[in-house]
Structure 1
């Protein structure tokens, strides 16, 4: 055992830099894996903690169509044992608000007539330092953290609203965590008003009060039984809007699940690279110390005694490195969680991270893999025969091939410039080292390209809006005050404006989709109905398969809605629309990130007996221009011409309001992963090239002795690495574009996206390949400094 320890300590002392690089690589691998695990484990914990603190609802019933008596619905649920019910919350709807003299149009506002706290279910958590009253005081409102964070609104700020009765302003007295309607990227928000302000400012809103209420089950698994009894009491299906827990939680979890999935996958790849690097280093050490191992074996040292130092060496390196990496992972994980789930934070309460046990288990597994990898490669020493090792310094067969090779003719490199010859020999002299370098560049490039692809795809949502489930028009116009501006009058203006290429009137409603196959959600699903007076195709709506509906008896279903109903193109499907059952033929299936594809598309020109046309007001117009560059100017013109009557915004601004936040949230984790992989690439190539430079030191000494400068030699060696890494990075770019998104699609499929709409950025892809190649070149250049620092005589002697 004493001999084993001496050999182990000798390896640690003699190769300090190489050991340091290996430890750093293991640390970075543990850092990435630990960050990913912490983000994944705590995303759900943070949401569940907030949901528990607020006694959050598991279902929200919105009674906005007048199809059921709100008092009856509330009374029935309140009488059920095992179900907690919030107060019945009256509200009216408005679109958009004004802050700092700027309109924020991409908002659907529920203007709540706030009852006294507590609500019973879906309590509000106050995010500020103040302790507000039990209800908003006159002239003030409470707003959700999602609206405050995305718009920069804080306590004490004044915000304005345009209602049919006129424009009014209220001061923000509190910012609250409102779990059901406060998720990131939300385009809806509950504004909590004082009863007097509610009645004064919203009296002219058409349709009277609407209501919502939250339900929380003691045993959520039994909710289907409650709903069966409830619909029996109604003597009909529940025909208004029901939002289930999966929809409430979806957009709190989606971004961090994407981040966590990507980081877990890439962390695993980085750990595999670290293990491969250890294997490469051990295998190279066996070849370098071939004669020494032969001597030790001839002196009676067993294979276990030769293998053990390598295992102990990497165990002593791995345990502290992996431990430090996992400890440090708490900091980037906390930063990512703060960035993506700030809407759930209250005050200055420190972020408590869970999952220590999983991190410890991950660390143990990583250490075991390191030890196993070192033992596996070190066990190759059993094939070393002492006599051959002492005589040849390698296996006899290898010695024979080497000697035979020395008598072979050249391979025709003498006709090329010296720099290229040296570059070629440095890259082909060790095929294993070149292959490993190319593989590292491949992985690094694929990671960088995938990050660029993900960001560019989200940034290009405006150009690919139809593939995300949105329209692809230039301007969205919402008439917010019908008495001031009739739809027909504005339609006449659109017809007479030569700048307009196409437009259509759109509205949304809630419907009930029936399925013949009972599922966990029962036999019915609430779906969002898009109703268009115009052509879906002309306005840029796309489908995955089939086509958009064109007649009143056709429907296109969202992906998840179609899967729930068990229907495909050509099948018939039943929909309840405003209480009436209608049968439609499915013409297409589409994906939509909005509503998680729990939606359907219908045309507006339905028979009057359906009740749709006479009971819904189409107040939103999607407008395509002859020249898209005029969108901002035309929207501004209409807002100026009809102040208080409509709200017009370019699609670019609406898309940015939703997806800009996603881009900002992704920059930190994707940037961190890019930097980590570039760092790892540089470190690994440095380590590999340093080994090769030491092996070829005599050759470089001869080059210097015949007049080649150190700079020229280093430049030539680096050029060889550039060739190898550029080839690997190019292949990696293809993998980053075509292979990694396939894995991400598995995560997104639960959120209504079957295929992530990709937008390849050629400049970004080229930059990623160049950065990966540059990291490899930097590692090689740094490792070759020994050539410049050492004299030709010493190099030749070595």
Structure 2
């Protein structure tokens, strides 16, 4: 009864606390569902679709029956399959922009038993000029049934009519570089005749456990591509994709989930501080009532229990509503995520997870409540009846009015600030925490959705203005020379990715003649390799192999092995940090016939990359598998991911504004109630309502400013250290993402101005109270 009476007495406080808990539970449940349940959904869906644990795509000329026999005999393999497909480098289009990928054509009658084609939504029968495209083209590209669909395949432009969309587990995510398209048997036969050099085989494997696919991939490459027989073949068209790699292509979901969960933890921390403040304030306001209850025989435990029940019931109600609201928002977020994952996921209610989240929060609230009410034990009834006054206060009188110069309302506000240090610290901590979360969230969005160049360099490495891939490697040097002679080209050089094996670890090798030409600094310790016996290695590889700078490593390519010296450590999310940099002269010592087929092109300021590509194609002829405007490619691919983080960042900022409003409402209302007599005296002495409002606003505005500055500076300067800590497992040791300075400054100014305006509005209630009523009450 006491708990219910207290809630009825302080409805506004109860409503504010309920909102705090509601928001914390809302974000926590959404974050945990995304973090824990999407992977479960992916695994369940993969099993339903009979998804392979290892997929190997290679040209027909490099494929033989021995490879399939080897896969069948490999330990842990339960099922294998081999399908004839067409595969080559190509380009697809989304929102009018060109994107680079490896394109696979497969006929529907040749559909595999592993991950067979499955249509999503409405579809039409396949005809000679129609095609089934991955669902990602609809979710991220806004294509519709019956639309014209353009593909560039092996340098030639093809047009189809979209007849349906397919669900793809292994291929088809936004961050994937492999896309599979289905055509009719007649169309497949025509394409096979048109592109004889693109004849390929898709070999798929299911194992006893999905995690075994990664090791099987390494062993397969060692058995068939790092051999003496393959030493005279420069980087054949081959892709080996494990089950884990297909899952990692949907990593944006996990990153978003971690961001939301981290924000939820901050909100939970804020909620607990507010609850502690609410309990302390409740005890102070009800001091006389507590003394009366003690005097008539109520036990300490009964009074404490009533307060604990009051706040626990508010937390329970807020938690239940938060879970309900999160269930309404999850389908919306899942739909937004489809543009990246290319999977239709409809998250339902996870009762067990919701119960655990709610129980965790209730236990925390109980602990904080018990900690806050323990002062009731020491409260004597007589002291409580006197309003908690033990004796007279002999504290130093700060900011004497007759000696301190300045506007009187401002001086009085500063005196109040000095007298309420604990409350000021609480507000500063809360505002700092919320500002930190907002600035961090905006910084992540800025680096992914607005200026993703630096973030992309961590993922993919070199990020040139244009990238060219040639069909005939023998023409690469001539094309590079021609490019270097163009006035609009700053520099052009060969830059190749190649698969290597070192210390029994499959690594992705970056090869170029001079690493000083690169404009993306992947090095975080040591130096780049210069000589033919030197390499720089990724952080994850160095940890796995137990190597330091100056140590020797054995590197295998094409069946030949040689010892190299480590000169530096590099960082890249590509291949999870299992990377290696080697000079052109170095790769020739173990793969003598190696030549480049990929060219990085950097342009002079103001040069249109698309126009340059068209000019180069016209001059060189049909010699390119693909040629792409890299900046345009980034903008297209990352616009979808940027939209996801924009929603998250906007949500964080909106919640921060709401928290500022609620905190100011609670503390200002409490202050007005506590200082009724003082305000009445000031009005009687001639202070106007506007002066008293300004006095209140000046009291809290500096506090908000300090909290905003501390939190914003913390978010600004700690972004990279925190990201480095979380991304170390992915191969990134030192991030260098630029924080948006202008956005941070605007956030500080906006929150401070908002605090002043809101303080003035909340203090407006003073105008309705006369000096007589303030004094008499």
- Could you tell me which residue of structure 1 aligns to residue 743 of structure 2? 764
Structure 1 residue 189: Cα displacement: 1.8
Measured in 2, the distance between the counterparts of 1:179 and 1:193 equals 19
Residue of 342, 351, 355 corresponding to 2:346: 351
Once the two structures are superposed, what CA deviation does each residue of 1:705-748 show, in whole Å capped at 9, x if it has no partner? 23332123212311221111111111111221233554444443
Structure 1 residue 152: Cα displacement: 2.9
Matched, 1:55 2:50: yes
Q: Which stretches in structure 1 are left out of the alignment for 5+ residues?
A: 516-522
Measured in 1, the distance between the counterparts of 2:476 and 2:258 equals 47
Matched, 1:714 2:702: no
Structure 1 residue 448: Cα displacement: 0.9
Q: CA-atom RMSD, angstroms?
A: 3.3
- Could you tell me which residue of structure 1 aligns to residue 427 of structure 2? 437
Structure 1 residues 597 and 152: CA distance shift in structure 2, 3 A: farther
- Could you tell me which residue of structure 2 aligns to residue 295 of structure 1? 292
Measured in 2, the distance between the counterparts of 1:630 and 1:163 equals 24
Structure 1 residues 792 and 633: CA distance shift in structure 2, 3 A: farther
Length-normalised TM-score, structure 2: 0.89
Measured in 2, the distance between the counterparts of 1:220 and 1:409 equals 71
Residue of 73, 87, 105 corresponding to 2:67: 73
Once the two structures are superposed, what CA deviation does each residue of 1:553-584 show, in whole Å capped at 9, x if it has no partner? 33232333333333332222233323333433
Measured in 2, the distance between the counterparts of 1:167 and 1:345 equals 25
- Could you tell me which residue of structure 1 aligns to residue 601 of structure 2? 623
Structure 1 residue 249: Cα displacement: 0.9
Structure 1 residues 506 and 94: CA distance shift in structure 2, 3 A: same
Matched, 1:448 2:438: yes
Structure 1 residues 612 and 236: CA distance shift in structure 2, 3 A: closer
Structure 1 residues 677 and 243: CA distance shift in structure 2, 3 A: same
What SS does the aligned partner of 1:93 have?
strand
Preserved CA contact (<8 Å) 1:126 1:175: yes
Matched, 1:108 2:101: yes
- Could you tell me which residue of structure 2 aligns to residue 477 of structure 1? 468
What SS does the aligned partner of 2:170 have?
helix
Measured in 1, the distance between the counterparts of 2:256 and 2:375 equals 40
Matched, 1:460 2:451: yes
Once the two structures are superposed, what CA deviation does each residue of 1:608-654 show, in whole Å capped at 9, x if it has no partner? 6744535x5x3332122332555455445446666755554443212
Structure 1 residues 18 and 193: CA distance shift in structure 2, 3 A: same
Structure 1 residue 137: Cα displacement: 4.2
Matched, 1:564 2:544: yes
- Could you tell me which residue of structure 2 aligns to residue 581 of structure 1? 561
Preserved CA contact (<8 Å) 1:469 1:590: no
Structure 1 residues 154 and 549: CA distance shift in structure 2, 3 A: farther
Length-normalised TM-score, structure 1: 0.87
Measured in 1, the distance between the counterparts of 2:508 and 2:281 equals 63
- Could you tell me which residue of structure 1 aligns to residue 82 of structure 2? 87
Once the two structures are superposed, what CA deviation does each residue of 1:259-313 show, in whole Å capped at 9, x if it has no partner? 2222222212212221221211211222223233223222222111221221221
Residue of 305, 317, 320 corresponding to 1:320: 317
Measured in 1, the distance between the counterparts of 2:453 and 2:431 equals 33
Structure 1 residues 541 and 225: CA distance shift in structure 2, 3 A: closer
- Could you tell me which residue of structure 2 aligns to residue 14 of structure 1? 9
The 5-angstrom pairing of residues 261-276 of structure 1 reads: 261-276=258-273
Matched, 1:737 2:727: no
- Could you tell me which residue of structure 2 aligns to residue 247 of structure 1? 245
Preserved CA contact (<8 Å) 1:28 1:325: yes
- Could you tell me which residue of structure 2 aligns to residue 143 of structure 1? 133
- Could you tell me which residue of structure 1 aligns to residue 578 of structure 2? 598
Once the two structures are superposed, what CA deviation does each residue of 1:61-113 show, in whole Å capped at 9, x if it has no partner? 2335966x43222234346785122333433312213578x451x31223334
What SS does the aligned partner of 2:510 have?
strand
- Could you tell me which residue of structure 2 aligns to residue 373 of structure 1? 368
What SS does the aligned partner of 2:736 have?
coil
Once the two structures are superposed, what CA deviation does each residue of 1:520-562 show, in whole Å capped at 9, x if it has no partner? xxx442x333332444544434312222233333323233333
Preserved CA contact (<8 Å) 1:539 1:622: no
Matched, 1:329 2:326: yes
The 5-angstrom pairing of residues 381-400 of structure 1 reads: 381-390=376-385, 392-396=386-390, 399-400=391-392
Structure 1 residues 650 and 412: CA distance shift in structure 2, 3 A: farther
- Could you tell me which residue of structure 2 aligns to residue 426 of structure 1? 416
Preserved CA contact (<8 Å) 2:88 2:198: no
Matched, 1:662 2:610: no
- Could you tell me which residue of structure 1 aligns to residue 164 of structure 2? 174
The worse-fitting range, judged by mean Cα deviation, of 79-88 and 273-282 is 79-88
- Could you tell me which residue of structure 1 aligns to residue 113 of structure 2? 120
Preserved CA contact (<8 Å) 1:184 1:343: yes
Measured in 2, the distance between the counterparts of 1:228 and 1:725 equals 56
Structure 1 residues 334 and 541: CA distance shift in structure 2, 3 A: same
> How many residues of Structure 1 are paired with residues of Structure 2 in the alignment?
766
Matched, 1:153 2:161: no
- Could you tell me which residue of structure 2 aligns to residue 520 of structure 1? none
What SS does the aligned partner of 2:393 have?
helix
What SS does the aligned partner of 2:593 have?
helix
Structure 1 residue 232: Cα displacement: 11
Q: Which stretches in structure 2 are left out of the alignment for 5+ residues?
A: 231-237
Structure 1 residue 762: Cα displacement: 0.9
Measured in 2, the distance between the counterparts of 1:322 and 1:263 equals 17
Preserved CA contact (<8 Å) 1:164 1:482: no
- Could you tell me which residue of structure 1 aligns to residue 502 of structure 2? 514
What SS does the aligned partner of 1:739 have?
helix
Preserved CA contact (<8 Å) 2:22 2:319: yes
What SS does the aligned partner of 1:528 have?
strand
Preserved CA contact (<8 Å) 1:250 1:751: no
Preserved CA contact (<8 Å) 1:165 1:201: no
Structure 1 residues 624 and 345: CA distance shift in structure 2, 3 A: closer
Structure 1 residues 47 and 477: CA distance shift in structure 2, 3 A: same
Residue of 685, 694, 701 corresponding to 2:673: 694
Residue of 411, 417, 436 corresponding to 2:407: 417
The worse-fitting range, judged by mean Cα deviation, of 425-434 and 89-98 is 89-98
Structure 1 residue 316: Cα displacement: 2.8
What SS does the aligned partner of 1:401 have?
coil
Measured in 1, the distance between the counterparts of 2:615 and 2:686 equals 75
Measured in 1, the distance between the counterparts of 2:365 and 2:113 equals 53
Runs of 4+, deviation exceeding 6 Å: 221-240
Structure 1 residue 118: Cα displacement: 4.4
What SS does the aligned partner of 1:243 have?
strand
Matched, 1:35 2:34: no
Measured in 2, the distance between the counterparts of 1:678 and 1:284 equals 23
Preserved CA contact (<8 Å) 1:146 1:186: no
Measured in 2, the distance between the counterparts of 1:46 and 1:82 equals 24
Structure 1 residues 465 and 327: CA distance shift in structure 2, 3 A: closer
Residue of 488, 496, 507 corresponding to 2:485: 496
Structure 1 residues 496 and 288: CA distance shift in structure 2, 3 A: same
Measured in 1, the distance between the counterparts of 2:214 and 2:347 equals 35
Preserved CA contact (<8 Å) 2:54 2:214: no
Preserved CA contact (<8 Å) 2:340 2:640: no
- Could you tell me which residue of structure 1 aligns to residue 760 of structure 2? 781
- Could you tell me which residue of structure 1 aligns to residue 203 of structure 2? 213
Measured in 2, the distance between the counterparts of 1:368 and 1:553 equals 60
Preserved CA contact (<8 Å) 2:716 2:744: no
Structure 1 residue 790: Cα displacement: 1.3
